[in-house]
Chains A and B, each alone.
Chain A
Amino acid sequence: MNILVCVKRVPDPAENEIEINKDGSDIDREDLVYSVNEWDNYAVEEAIQIRDQHGGSVTVVSVGDEDSEEILRREMAMGADQGILVSDDAFQGSDGLGLATILKSVAESGNYDLILAGAQSDEGAAQTGGMLAALLDYPYASLVNEIQVQGGDKLQVGREIEGGNQEVNEIELPCVLSIQSGINEPRYVGIRGIRKVSGVEIPEKGASDLGLSEDQVGEQAARVKRVDYFHPEMGEGAEILEGSTEEVAEKLVELLKSKGGLK
């Protein structure tokens, strides 16, 4: 099975405190450290496991600037067979659809039976996989937490749904799946592993290589745009609730209710 996995380089949520820059145009990128989006990493591990059991190949693709090569190498050190870096100034400012359009061109330039994406990334929209599937006219399942290969052209997949339950589906290949964290235990990639693949050529593709034009991708084509970043109003330190136990409890109930915290 030939598998394409879409990966993204994101500020590592475990090792950063995300702050906003002065004019709110961006997060403060000084002192940020990046890594591969956690969900994407699970997707790569899953792809490697499927390949190791059923044969085929794993290709990782990332749309981003040159720095994204670093995460492609990391995933290749994990065991992906090849990486593709998709980078072009024309891609700047693409919205979700733009990104999916780029990935569609990549998918069509190869011969992939299965396309995996992380369930979500730093922007939290959880949309890339679903859009890509629709563009390719492939069936789609999101939040996949189990994959079993059934014969040649079908998969049985488990989806993680509310309450920790699992919804089991049969899906035809080729298809797109978005992978939920916890589907497997991703292997560790050490510095040595990355160094070992440091010499491997990673092809870079731009808009013209993929046959994409400005009305499809980039800022001009985007219908959804981020205006600014901000922090909602919130006091410094804890606001200590005063009063008798009863009163404090009542105040807290009101507060929790307003935060959507009572079901």
Chain B
Amino acid sequence: MSRQVFAYIKHSAGEVEDSAYELIKVAEQIDPQAEVTALLFGTGDELDKACQQAASIYPQVWKVDKQEHSYPNAELIRPQMMNLLPADAVVLASFDTFGMDLTPGLSVKMGSSHLADIVGVEGMEGDTLKAVRQEHGGQVHTHVTCDMSSGAILSVRGGVFPASEGGQSGQVVDKTAEAGDVQARRKFLEVREAEIGEVDITKEDILISIGRGIEEEENIEIAQELAEAAGGVVSCSRPVVDAKWMDKSRQVGTSGKTVKPKIYLAMGISGSFQHMGGVKGNPFIVAVNKNSKAPIFQVAHVGVVEDLLEFAPTLTEKIQEMK
């Protein structure tokens, strides 16, 4: 029997999020024979556009078109999903700020298992899924099993699974009527945009961190450009803050911020333990330093022995070329 797998697809401004391309791959890893259906909640043209895009990834797309979904509210979507889905459905969602709102409660309401933040799939044994997670802020990995016999809700970490190439020509089915009308006891009011220039390095996945090797305030530009290309932000070590070249809020270290990125690119940072003490979560550390004896190379996974002022612009170029 092939499983019915559903992927909850986040979208905004008529475009699906990157996770849409990854969730189908996760579904395939769980069960290559699975019928995978994309689920999209939203309204109007933007929803239709997103559904079209989803149909290029998934063989089947269900859409629920209601005004109330113009901004996703898990408290409304959860009961509507219960109305739509078979009791033993396997639901995939992205482990993000919406997924955290949606999936734990959904699993309880559906009577399904809940497995959060998976970073790898090892395979199925009967109805039991074996998957990989991380614990202790990413310091250790674990193998976990999940009994899927009465359905399962799985949330998936973004960016770790491969992305589908697309090329499907799925069918979009309007499920609005079946979703039913529900009342939520939580009402969305507004989104307050973060102030410009206010960057929380503790929440970023990619940090381009600069140290004394940046030499002059003007050179910070080089790091900014690299960060933009790589989709990260610039953080720094203490001397850069002491020199008042960057705001204190950007400082990584025991006297600065504790960060938990996935990628930490340390440029011109010697890697004192006060600095590295602020780097948690077992990120992939790349060290760029002209001093091959810098202690940073002891903790880094990959090292580049070059002057960052020369290397960073080249790297920026290469990243842009790749895009």
Question: Are chains A and B touching directly in their complex (CB below 8 angstroms)?
Answer: yes
Indicate whether B177 reaches chain A with its CB closer than 8 angstroms: no
In angstroms, Cα B205 to Cα A202, docked, is: 41
CB-CB under 8 A from B306, the residues of chain A are 245, 248
CB-CB under 8 A from B301, the residues of chain A are 234-235, 238-239
In angstroms, Cα B284 to Cα A255, docked, is: 10
Contact with B along A251-263 (1 / 0, CB 8 A): 0110111011111
Indicate whether B65 reaches chain A with its CB closer than 8 angstroms: no
Pair B315/A168 contact, Cβ less than 8 Å:
no
Shortest distance from the beta carbon of A202 to any chain B beta carbon, whole Å? 27
CB-CB nearest in chain B for A163: B194
Indicate whether B216 reaches chain A with its CB closer than 8 angstroms: no
Given contacts A160-B97, A239-B303, A256-B230, whether A168 and B190 have CB atoms under 8 Å apart is: yes
Which residue from A129, A167, A257 sits with its C-beta under 8 Å from B188? A167
Indicate whether B186 reaches chain A with its CB closer than 8 angstroms: yes
Stretch of A52-60, A62-70, A106-114, A220-228 with 4 or more beta carbons under 8 angstroms from chain B: A220-228
In angstroms, Cα B104 to Cα A259, docked, is: 28
Indicate whether A126 reaches chain B with its CB closer than 8 angstroms: yes
Shortest distance from the beta carbon of B20 to any chain A beta carbon, whole Å? 15
Shortest distance from the beta carbon of A177 to any chain B beta carbon, whole Å? 10
Shortest distance from the beta carbon of A260 to any chain B beta carbon, whole Å? 3
Indicate whether B140 reaches chain A with its CB closer than 8 angstroms: yes
Stretch of B1-9, B25-33, B40-48, B127-135 with 4 or more beta carbons under 8 angstroms from chain A: B127-135
Indicate whether B193 reaches chain A with its CB closer than 8 angstroms: yes
Stretch of A10-18, A80-88, A192-200, A210-218 with 4 or more beta carbons under 8 angstroms from chain B: A10-18
Which residue from A128, A168, A223 sits with its C-beta under 8 Å from B189? A168
Which residue from B101, B113, B133, B304 sits with its C-beta under 8 Å from A241? B304
Shortest distance from the beta carbon of A221 to any chain B beta carbon, whole Å? 11
Contact with A along B185-197 (1 / 0, CB 8 A): 1111111111000
CB-CB nearest in chain A for B148: A223
In angstroms, Cα B133 to Cα A256, docked, is: 21
In chain A, positions 121-135 with a C-beta closer than 8 Å to chain B are 122-131, 133-135
Please tell me the number of chain B residues within 8 Å of chain A, measured between CB atoms.
Answer: 89
Pair A262/B322 contact, Cβ less than 8 Å:
yes
Stretch of A1-9, A41-49, A139-147 with 4 or more beta carbons under 8 angstroms from chain B: A139-147
Shortest distance from the beta carbon of B304 to any chain A beta carbon, whole Å? 5
In chain B, positions 281-323 with a C-beta closer than 8 Å to chain A are 284-287, 292, 296-306, 310-311, 314-315, 317-319, 322
CB-CB under 8 A from B143, the residues of chain A are 226-228, 230
In angstroms, Cα B206 to Cα A239, docked, is: 20
- Chain B contact residues: helix, strand, loop or mixed: mixed
Pairs of residues from A and B, 4 with the lowest C-beta to C-beta distance, nearest first: A130-B104, A263-B231, A238-B303, A260-B159
**Sample (24) of A-B pairs whose CB atoms are under 8 Å apart:** A13-B136, A13-B280, A122-B135, A124-B134, A128-B104, A130-B102, A134-B107, A161-B191, A164-B198, A164-B199, A164-B203, A165-B193, A171-B185, A172-B185, A178-B100, A225-B145, A230-B140, A230-B142, A231-B141, A232-B141, A235-B301, A245-B311, A255-B286, A260-B263
Residues of B that sit less than 8 Å from A by CB: 73-75, 95-98, 100-109, 113-117, 130, 133-147, 158-160, 184-194, 198-200, 203, 205-206, 230-232, 258, 262-263, 280, 284-287, 292, 296-306, 310-311, 314-315, 317-319, 322
**Known contacts A126-B116, A168-B188, A261-B284; can you find 10 more A-B pairs with CB under 8 A?**
A127-B103, A161-B97, A166-B191, A168-B191, A169-B73, A227-B130, A229-B141, A237-B297, A252-B315, A261-B262
Residues of A that sit less than 8 Å from B by CB: 11, 13-14, 17-18, 20, 27, 96-97, 100, 119, 122-131, 133-135, 138-143, 156, 158-172, 175, 178, 223-232, 234-235, 237-241, 245-246, 248-250, 252-253, 255-257, 259-263
